[in-house]
Amino acid sequence: MRPLIVSAVLAALVPAGVSAQESSPERITRGVPQLARAPKLDGKMGDFRSSFLLRPASPPEASATFSALAGWRKDTLYVSVDITDDQLLASDELTLSVFFPESGPTALGHTFHVRPTGKRASPEEEGTPEFAWKQVEVGVQRQEGTLTMEVGIPARAFPRFPAREPLTLELCLTYEDVDGEGEKSPSVSNCQGGAMRNEVLRLPDAFRKGLKLKPPEHVLGLEGRPGGWLGYGILHYPAWVQADAPLTVDSLRKLVAEDEVVPEKVGVSVSEPLLLPDGRPLAVVFSGSDPYAVAGQCDADAELRLGLYLIKGKTAERVLEWPAATCALGRASSVVLDEEGALSIGYSSGPTINFAWSGERFERTEIGKR
């Protein structure tokens, strides 16, 4: 899970000599305040009206430190960081990590990077989507010995956040000070091991309400995408979609599956269109990776997934999610839905899995199993 990756990255950045045991076991929750107006992201802190202050734990040998202000306005979290550094270089870097621990067991975190020259792309290995870091706005002002970085993170660029639980937030700021060729001062951070030391933050429910999202009860977490939002249950597969515009099958596929797979190219067969007993069509989405991508071999770690969605204007609900190709089952050689709502998925290795339409989703049955 990527939260472990993010934690590992931050653990490498935080100051040496500060142990996790030094963190308070009873962390306080601090509410992030609403700003009277959105600040102009120009690196000038004069219009950043917030009393919310974050400070790092700086080891004695560190040659830099910072203080930070935070606040929110409409759909954006704002952070302004005032850095003092005895030797400012272009390779010095501020890393911001955002993670919502209450957003579900498969939730991930995002990291964003800012240098004196401006925003830097998030490394691919950190897992932050390209569209997310591209939406983040920054402003930098550099003076002798000081550096001010202002960052605006819109909700669409957030990692997955709770759909109903409190918007508890881990906001980690880490400054890496590179003093010269081959020289690196200890990093300074307000976090240890990927978590805030003595406190945790919380955005108010009003922030989430302002996004005007109305997920069904079974959705635990929400996550932005270009063109809309995805809702997740317990598993890491979208259970609900809300788009910015009325959905089509093509636009749904682009939202749900960044790694969309064309079934004909992987030997999977679907008898489209799939129509419910009342005549409503189902959208078919394949995602994941083909375990049979290499001829004559099967990758046990790869799996192709089938998702069936019912589109209703700008929203869509998943009514079934099931394997389409695995080493154990083989490929889905037939996906057939009859006029009474009986769905059968036959696999190349022999078994046939059957489902019945319940009026809201497909439920598995044992009828006709072999």
Give tens-digit pLDDT for 9-36. Answer: 444 444 333 333 344 458 899 999 999 9
Class of domain 2-204: mainly beta
Radius of gyration of the chain (CA): 24
Total-model pTM: 0.86
The residue type at 19: S
Strands 28-31 and 199-203, how do they pair?
Answer: parallel
Is pLDDT above 80 for 311?
Answer: yes
Query: Which class for 11: exposed (0-12), middle (13-18), buried (19 or more C-beta within 10 A)?
Result: middle
List, by residue range, all CATH 2.60.40.1190 domains of the chain: 2-204
Question: Is pLDDT at 60 greater than 80 in this prediction?
Answer: no
pLDDT tens figures, 136-162: 999 999 887 789 999 999 999 999 999
**pLDDT of res. 370:** 43
Region of 194 please: left (phi>0), alpha (psi -120 to 50) or beta: left
The C-alpha atoms of residue 153 and residue 159 are separated, in whole angstroms, by 11
Q: What is the pLDDT of residues 208-265, one digit of tens each?
A: 999 999 999 999 999 999 999 999 998 888 999 999 999 999 999 999 987 778 888 8
The answer to whether the CB of 343 falls within 8 A of the CB of 361 is no
Determine the pLDDT at residue 170. Answer: 96
Better-predicted residue by pLDDT, 295 or 180: 295
